């Protein structure tokens, strides 16, 4: 039995879980998410806790057992509190703007990059610092993937530190070329 899968999921207040034959629906104040079930996994709801049990004891069966439990827990947190990722845009002339249902990024390319904002994602900019972009949503997977997609457009480079990075991410800096000393020449 999976160690993670054995732990019961405590549901936050205001969150309800409905188990169907092939999926689990989680409803909360911020919205509704569903988790697709694997045939070897069963889910039981007991008041404000959800218990996931697995029938298969193979390595892949135990892995799926833990995975389904964590997906249910992440969905319960998402529909009650939501998830947020912050991105920091660093560089001269680098900026981001929200225009309708799209995000326009100027990241030093010859043209601005326009990304369509997926359904269920909300993007905001910090009031004090416009170079900080906040990505919010109820799905941890969707928020994390969209943040990773934005970061992949211009990852932080190690010499000057320019690019898109997660807020608070530590980028290791390299010294660059050293001047040739006359003693070495």
* Torsion angle of C-alpha atoms 84, 85, 86, 89, degrees rounded to 10: -140
Same domain, 155 and 95: yes
pTM of the predicted model as reported, rounded to 2 decimal places: 0.86
Same domain, 89 and 121: yes
Same domain, 89 and 159: yes
pLDDT score recorded for residue 7: 87
pLDDT score recorded for residue 2: 64
pLDDT along the chain (185 residues), means of 10: 79 90 92 90 88 83 87 93 94 91 92 93 89 94 95 91 89 78 57
Q: Which domain holds residue 40?
A: 3-80
Same domain, 46 and 112: no
* Torsion angles phi and psi, residue 27, rounded to 5: -115, 140
Same domain, 20 and 76: yes
Nearest to 153 by CA among 102, 85, 107: 107
**Angle at which helices 140-153 and 59-80 cross, to 10°:** 90
Residue 155 inside a domain? The answer is yes
Domain total for the chain? 2
Same domain, 22 and 44: yes
Same domain, 122 and 75: no
Same domain, 73 and 91: no
Residue 8 inside a domain? The answer is yes
């Amino acid at each position: 039995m999976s160690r993670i899968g054995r732990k019961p999921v405590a549901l936050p207040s205001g969150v309800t879980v409905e188990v169907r034959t092939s999926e689990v629906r989680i409803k909360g104040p911020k919205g509704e998410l569903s988790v697709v079930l694997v045939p070897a996994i069963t889910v039981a709801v007991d008041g404000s806790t959800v218990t996931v049990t697995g029938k298969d004891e193979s390595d892949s069966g135990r892995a799926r057992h833990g995975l389904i439990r964590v997906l249910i827990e992440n969905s319960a947190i998402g529909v009650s509190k939501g998830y947020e990722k912050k991105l920091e845009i660093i560089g001269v002339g680098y900026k981001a703007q929200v225009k309708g249902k799209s995000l326009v990024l100027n990241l030093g390319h010859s043209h601005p990059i326009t990304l369509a904002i997926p359904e269920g994602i909300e993007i905001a900019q910090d009031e004090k610092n416009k170079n900080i972009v906040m990505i919010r949503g109820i799905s941890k997977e969707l928020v994390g993937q969209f943040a990773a997609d934005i970061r992949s457009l211009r990852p932080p480079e190690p010499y000057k530190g320019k690019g898109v990075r997660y807020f608070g991410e530590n980028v290791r800096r390299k010294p660059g070329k050293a001047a040739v000393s006359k003693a070495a020449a």
